[in-house]
Chain A
Amino acid sequence: MKDPLAVPLEFYRAYTSESTYFGYSKTARTMSKRKVKETHMTVGECISQVQTILRQRFCHQRLPEKPMGIESQHKHLLELLRRTAVHGESNSVLIVGPRGSGKTMLLKCVLRDLLEVKDVNKNVLQVHLNGLLQTDDRIALKEITRQLNLENVVGDKVFGSFAENLAFLLEALKKGDRSSSRPVLFILDEFDLFAHHKNQTLLYNLLDVSQSAQAPVAVIGLTCRLDVLELLEKRVKSRFSHRQIHLLSSLSFRQYLDNVILQLSLPPDFADAKFFEEWNDSIKRLCKDKSVVDVLEKHYNSSKDFRSLHLLLMLVLSQVSVCKPSIKPTDLLEASRVCVADSKANILHGLSVLELCLIIAMKHLSDIYEGEPFNFQMVHNEFKKFLQRKSQSIYNFDKPVVMKAFEHLQQLELIKSVDGSTGKIHKEYQLMKLMLDHNQIMEALQKYPQCPTDVKQWALSAFG
């Protein structure tokens, strides 16, 4: 007798392996459906699989079958790269869009589709560079040599000098021509950081190769800066083809909502058919709920990118467990509360009463002197004035104790020194600035546990 779990697991593995995506051939689907009917998994196993699948989507940025809403860009880029890969045309292109708008996703989808074309897979070479990692041209060049497997040409070690390395690489690229040599795709992530390299040597050389009739290369830059062309030197700019693909999200709220449903629902080849239907139905019901729509609309208004959506959904997903096998509207409310929480208010909540008093004194000072910086002496003076008016002497602390509280506020960066020179002047006389605004302080006071009434009144009174 076969183990009932074995088959779905096999399918599941095939599903998660890199070669298959959301897509699945028709035969595989029918096969899985037939097999599924025989198997029933426990709720725990189902949940565990749901977690695995959805976590891959949210955390690992798995590629979707078809990029949503950017079909024209996808077509454009694919055609461009296909011309390089098949016909040996040299090209350069910039993909520009805000963070989380799916630039890398678009590129990866295009590369995936490109490699499916016949002959391209064996023929084309890819070089991936990242502006965060390759911080100068020397490192970038070594990385290129490594990724093109050229290092074994000169034995184990990578070339000696930078100039030698560059000369060799250019030589290797120049020797080629359109018909015989293999096309190279240079993918430069964080393209704007490459523009900060000295003399922009790397960019100049790459774009120069793409302009002259040498080995076919395609230079693809990904960046989030709209003004990236202003960063380029004139000679570099003139060699760039000025072809830009913009990824500006034009999602309407309706589409956004559909996207949420799509992101949360399970793929049809899920092992347990019954659970699959229940789950997808519950997701559809969830997204019709009034409170859920409100929360999502709020998120949609603050940002439309996929990353922040994934962050929200990840928080929702983490609440799903065996004892609570579906998503409830309250989960989403809770997750959204975590997402939008004001971190400074959280920090203010944990301060001691003395530190809170100091903050109120600072608030009064900046009210009176209209945002002029203050020093410890002034704050202490203000605090003493408050104590004198109140007959109780509970808060009668020594000056060094108050100083310690003041320094703690500085460590938390709630106050910041105006001039960076620390240690030069006396600590008491260093000019500081309060990094909180009026509303934050008042809100924190309202939420503060067991806030003394006189402190509260002092905060409310205008001008101390």
Chain B
Amino acid sequence: MAGQLLQPGYEENKLQRVSKLLPCRDVQSSMLLALMGEPEQYSYPSIFIYGHRATGKSHVIHTLLKELDIPYATVTCVECVSLGLLFEQVLFSLFGPDSATLLSRSPSLSDFVRVYKQLCVQNPAKQTKYIVLDRAELLRDMDANLLPAFLRLQELVEDNVTVILLSEIVWDKFRPNTGCFEPLLLHFPDYSKDELQQILSEDSHPSYSTELYSAFINILLGVFYSVCRDLRELRHLAALNFAKFVEPLESGKVNESETHKLWRNIEPHLKKAMQTVYLREVSSVQWEQQMEKEAGAVRGLSAHGHVELPYYSKFLLIAAYLASYNPARTDRRFFLKHHGKIKKTNFLKKHEKTSNHLLGPKPFALDRLLAIFYSVVDSRVAPSASVFSQISSLVTLQLLSQVGHNDQLDAPKYKCAVSLDFILAISRTVSFDIVKYLYDFL
């Protein structure tokens, strides 16, 4: 901990404790403290802090405000489904439990400001109050006047209050089109590799030396750093895989100094972790369980893609896939017994090839789906109600999706929403060779 925080108006030992709690964030925390100034001085009306996920935005703010005994209210905007909840939380933490009852049932911003002013008059503030709004990008989706009003709350309530907004998204995406009070922008930069190493090495295992743990972290960062810089994710992965790392030590095969052997042991394991645990294919509990068994033996979430469907539904889905990924003009060639002569050179336009699986499914009409369905299914099928109900139940299963909602009954259009692997598995169960019919793979 190099930097010592300095700010008159706060107790020395508290500042010392704070700077211990905030590793690698000296510059940011001292800048924030300087902006906040002494407790009774005014601070800037609104401060907007942005930075990547897990760069310590909320942690720094909360530690500063909590440890220095500054009055503050913190609200996570995800929780506030209605404005009332937001106002209630702010009043509750700034003025105590009784204050929120003053609000009416579904309060407007005007009510909030009135109640706030009223409470201010009753117990005038000696210190600057802070309102911290976490995940502030969600404020944009609430009422249009909310964000501009919070940015100039100091002026509206005539109290010494500062609003701090925390977000991952840059300020440019927040600005309303008639403009607003511009907040002070602060950036929390990402941790560098060395800083990540330093922070992650702090929570070492009690029964092993810190050097061993930091060597482990070094290996972990070597594998994951190019993909993931999220401190929380890395910490989670470190906690999960440390047991595997020290396994050879426990069995006595290797001693602590043979780092190369330890590395050889853990590296393939970590690579596997990237494909499974990092993508949440396998839950952390499953991952810990399978440490004892063979890694990767448990089937992940995406391996459960197989769905049991009725016979006709399978063919309907196959037909939908063909209709989505084949251009309509090739239908004659694929599904008609005696199609006319089509020159192969004409038929295959070079630039079109493989482009369909790149661009995604195209919408098709119901008629075309049925026509392809009748030509791929062998037996005679009556166009009964059950066939049509199966189509609509495929839509509710989200294997098909309906395009354009304006026409429910008359000529609806659909898109196929399943992947190639899925449809290959389906067509194998009904022994239908779908690749032969796909234009892209001709």
Contact = CB atoms under 8 A, between A and B. Distances in A.
A joins B in a complex: yes
Interface of A: 44, 47-48, 51-52, 55-56, 58-61, 99-100, 104, 130-135, 139, 143, 146, 192-193, 224-225, 307-308, 311, 314-315, 318-319, 321-323, 338-339, 341, 343-344, 346-347, 349-354, 375, 377-378, 381, 394-395, 397-398, 400-401, 404-405, 411-413, 424-426, 428-429, 449-450
B349 to A, nearest CB: 18
Given A314-B44, A401-B279, A225 B34 contact: no
Interface in B168-225: 168-173, 178-182, 184-187, 189-190, 192-193, 225
Interface of B: 6-9, 31, 34-35, 37-38, 40-45, 50-52, 55, 108-110, 113-114, 143, 145, 148-149, 152, 154-156, 168-173, 178-182, 184-187, 189-190, 192-193, 225-229, 274-275, 278-279, 281, 302, 357-361, 401, 415, 417, 419
A338 B417 CA distance: 47
The 7 A-B residue pairs whose C-beta atoms are closest, nearest first, are: A429-B360, A350-B190, A318-B34, A343-B170, A133-B110, A353-B226, A59-B42
B52 A350 contact: yes
Given A59-B44, A425-B360, A139 B417 contact: no
A135 B145 contact: yes
B34 A307 contact: no
A132 B144 CA distance: 9
A200 B361 CA distance: 49
A100 B34 CA distance: 24
A400 B43 CA distance: 46
Given A343-B187, A401-B274, 4 more contacts: A353-B226, A375-B360, A401-B279, A425-B401
Contacts of A308: 182
Contact of A55 (B37, B50, B145, B189): B37
A118 to B, nearest CB: 27
Given A346-B189, A428-B360, A133 B179 contact: no
Contacts of A352: 225-229
A193 B179 contact: no
B34 A135 contact: no
A400 B226 contact: no
A193 B109 CA distance: 14
Contacts of A349: 189-190
B43 A132 contact: no
Contacts of B170: 343-344, 346-347, 413
Contacts of A424: 401
A353 B190 CA distance: 13
A339 B325 CA distance: 51
Nearest to B275: A398
A135 B226 contact: no
11 contacts: A51-B38, A56-B42, A99-B180, A99-B181, A100-B182, A193-B145, A318-B31, A321-B6, A350-B190, A350-B229, A429-B359
B278 A401 contact: yes
Contacts of B45: 59
A429 B357 CA distance: 9
Nearest to B108: A139
A120 to B, nearest CB: 22
Contact of A311 (B145, B182, B193, B279): B182
A413 B275 CA distance: 25
Given A60-B154, A322-B8, A394 B50 contact: no
B5 to A, nearest CB: 11
Nearest to A61: B155
A413 B173 contact: yes
A429 B50 CA distance: 30
B266 to A, nearest CB: 18
Nearest to A320: B34
A60 to B, nearest CB: 5
A276 B129 CA distance: 30
B8 A44 contact: yes
A429 B240 CA distance: 34
A311 B189 CA distance: 21
A404 B171 CA distance: 24
Contact of B110 (A143, A338, A354, A428): A143
A426 B41 contact: no
A266 B196 CA distance: 45
Given A307-B182, A343-B50, A424-B401, A350 B274 contact: no
Contact of A344 (B31, B43, B172, B279): B172
Contacts of B274: 397-398, 401
B253 to A, nearest CB: 30
Contacts of A135: 108-110, 143, 145
A173 B142 CA distance: 37
B421 to A, nearest CB: 11
B229 A405 contact: no
Contacts of A378: 358
Contact of B43 (A55, A377, A401, A404): A55
B38 A48 contact: yes
A341 B51 CA distance: 13
Given A341-B187, A343-B185, A99 B415 contact: no
Nearest to A321: B6
Given A193-B145, A314-B44, A347-B170, A354 B227 contact: yes
A48 B31 contact: no
B358 A377 contact: yes
B113 A133 contact: yes
Given A133-B109, A378-B358, A429-B359, A405 B172 contact: no
